[in-house]
């Protein structure tokens, strides 16, 4: 595979150009392009430039309203944002502007986002809360792709949740981001694009039989992580991200890929907790004990360490991007470029 080396800024600028050319506002394009660049930086290319053509398509086919302006309501320690069928990222941005000070004031606050879209890497958002000194917990639902336990028809999305825990120096102690399926659906789509098979533990065909063919998998269902426990995890996320936000459940949401259907209309839900107001001043001490236990256990690592290592390597040596994906992004941003 041929690659090209880019900086995080170069990736963000390229993505922003393409999104603006497809109709996104500058504010919306920049918000999303920063997340795209961060995904490439952190070694999560399935949510990086590879997804840019889909984002641009959805701006022109009606899945995303390029003129959407998020509307914010705040009531005590609850913030509600109507994303208005625009991109999720700018809606989360304005929601966090209200959420963070409320969490610091009350000790805990919640953000409910409705009529939203694919929010990309969920931990990109919860990490921002941790860097603000808050414990951040996030949920986002998705179009149905997991069957109920014992069934064959998808009824729940891969529905990730994320937990970001701050350290004592303005950073992140650990960062969890996991879906209710064995892997994110985007990984199966990535294997499909590259013409590669998938492990037989990732997905099931339409009859509920494990498959290694990504084309068959995308017509069947994703395998839940931990069997029936994965279905329980998906239901947990569906409750917060869809039911508590008044958004569409996965069985009614249009797909995140392709032009079929209208806006997905899914939701996101975030909880921000100020540990200084809940722990009696013992948070940093207890956290240090927990982190030390991991450090002293041979071969273990805290969630997020691999991502942070990728981030350091990207800062030192640049970010390797698939040449074909770069050229596709370049064609969207600058169609007249040689």
| Contact yes or no for 66/37 (Cβ under 8 A) | no
Q: What is the mean pLDDT of residues 84-113?
A: 98
Q: Is the same domain home to 267 and 129?
A: yes
The answer to whether residues 33 and 12 touch, using CB atoms and an 8 Å cutoff, is yes
What is the average per-residue pLDDT within 188-213?
91
For 302-323, what is each residue's pLDDT tens digit? 999 999 999 999 999 999 999 9
Q: Domain residues for 161?
A: 68-174+228-281
**Three-state secondary-structure class, residue 290:** helix
Position 338 scores a pLDDT of 60
Instruction: Indicate if 23 and 164 belong to the same structural domain.
Output: no
Please choose, from the candidates 143, 145, 159, 139, the residue with its C-alpha nearest in 3D space to the C-alpha of residue 268. Answer: 139
For residue 128, being part of any structural domain is answered with: yes
Give the active site residue among 8, 40, 187, 238.
Answer: 187
Do 3 and 118 sit in the same domain of this protein?
A: no
From 40, 47, 145, 181, active-site residue: 47
Answer whether residue 337 shows pLDDT above 70. Answer: no
Domain assignment present for residue 192? The answer is: no
Residue 294 lies in a domain: no
Last residue of a domain, which of 244, 266, 281? 281
Among the options 16, 28, 33, 46, which is catalytic? 46
pLDDT in tens, 225-246: 999 999 999 999 999 999 999 9
102 and 240 share one domain: yes
3-state secondary structure of 153: coil
Cβ 1 vs Cβ 326: under 8 Å: no
Answer yes or no: 207 catalytic. Answer: no
List pLDDT tens digits, range 265-298: 999 999 999 999 999 999 999 999 999 999 998 8
- For residues 48 and 149, state if they share a domain: no
Are 272 and 148 in the same domain?
yes
Q: For residue 215, is it within any domain? A: no
Is 223 a domain residue?
Answer: no
Active site residue 187: yes
Distance of CA 306 to the CA centre of its chain: 17
Is 46 tagged catalytic? Answer: yes
Could you list the beta-strand ranges (E) of 83-202.
Answer: 108-116, 135-140, 146-147, 154-156, 161-166, 172-178
Span 21-47, mean pLDDT? 97
pLDDT > 90 in the chain, percent: 88
What's the mean per-residue pLDDT of the chain?
Answer: 95
Q: Which CATH number covers residue 337?
A: 1.10.1530.10
Indicate whether 198 belongs to any domain. no
| Tally of structural domains, the chain | 2
Query: Does 159 lie in the same domain as 33?
Result: no
Based on the domain organization, do 268 and 311 belong to the same domain? Answer: no
Looking at residue 183, its pLDDT comes to 87
Q: How confident is the model at residue 185 (pLDDT cuts 50, 70, 90)?
A: confident
Q: Are residues 149 and 1 in the same domain?
A: no
The pLDDT of residue 193 is 85
Q: Are residues 154 and 75 in the same domain?
A: yes
Give me the CATH number covering residue 83.
3.30.1370.60
Q: Is residue 201 part of a domain?
A: no
Distance CA 180, CA 262 (A): 25
* Residue 186 confidence (pLDDT): 80
Q: Are residues 157 and 249 both part of a single domain?
A: yes
pLDDT score recorded for residue 189: 84
Q: In this structure, is residue 204 part of a structural domain? A: no
pLDDT of 336 > 90? The answer is no
The verdict on 74 and 38 lying in the same domain is no
CA-CA-CA-CA torsion for 214, 215, 220, 226, nearest 10 degrees?
Answer: 0
């Amino acid at each position: 595979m041929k690659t090209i080396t880019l900086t995080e800024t170069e990736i963000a600028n390229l993505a922003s150009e393409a999104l603006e050319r497809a109709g996104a506002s500058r504010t919306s394009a920049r918000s999303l392009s920063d997340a795209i660049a961060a995904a490439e930086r952190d070694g999560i290319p399935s949510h990086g430039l590879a997804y840019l053509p889909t984002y641009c398509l959805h701006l022109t086919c009606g899945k995303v309203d390029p003129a959407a302006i998020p509307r914010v309501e705040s009531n005590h320690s609850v913030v509600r944002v109507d994303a208005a069928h625009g991109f999720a990222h700018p809606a989360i941005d304005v929601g966090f502007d209200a959420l963070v000070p409320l969490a610091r004031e009350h000790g805990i606050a919640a953000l409910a986002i409705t009529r939203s879209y694919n929010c990309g890497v969920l931990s990109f958002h919860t990490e921002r809360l941790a860097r603000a000194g808050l414990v951040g917990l996030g949920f986002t639902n998705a179009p149905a792709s997991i069957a109920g336990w014992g069934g064959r028809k998808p009824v729940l999305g891969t529905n990730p949740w994320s937990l970001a825990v701050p350290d004592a120096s303005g950073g992140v102690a650990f960062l969890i981001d996991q879906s209710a399926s064995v892997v994110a659906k985007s990984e199966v789509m990535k294997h499909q694009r590259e013409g590669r098979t998938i492990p037989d533990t990732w997905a099931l065909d339409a009859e509920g039989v494990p498959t290694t063919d990504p084309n068959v998998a995308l017509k069947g269902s994703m395998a839940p992580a931990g069997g029936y426990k994965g279905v329980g995890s998906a239901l947990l996320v569906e409750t917060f991200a869809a039911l508590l936000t008044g958004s569409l459940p996965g069985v009614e949401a249009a797909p995140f890929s392709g032009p079929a259907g209208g806006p997905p209309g899914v939701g996101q839900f975030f909880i921000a907790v100020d540990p200084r107001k809940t722990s009696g001043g013992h948070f940093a001490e207890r956290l240090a004990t927990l982190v030390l236990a991991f450090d002293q256990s041979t071969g273990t690592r805290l969630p997020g360490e691999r991502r942070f290592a990728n981030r350091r390597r990207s800062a030192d040596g640049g970010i390797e991007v698939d040449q074909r994906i770069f050229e596709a992004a370049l064609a969207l941003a600058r169609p007249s470029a040689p």
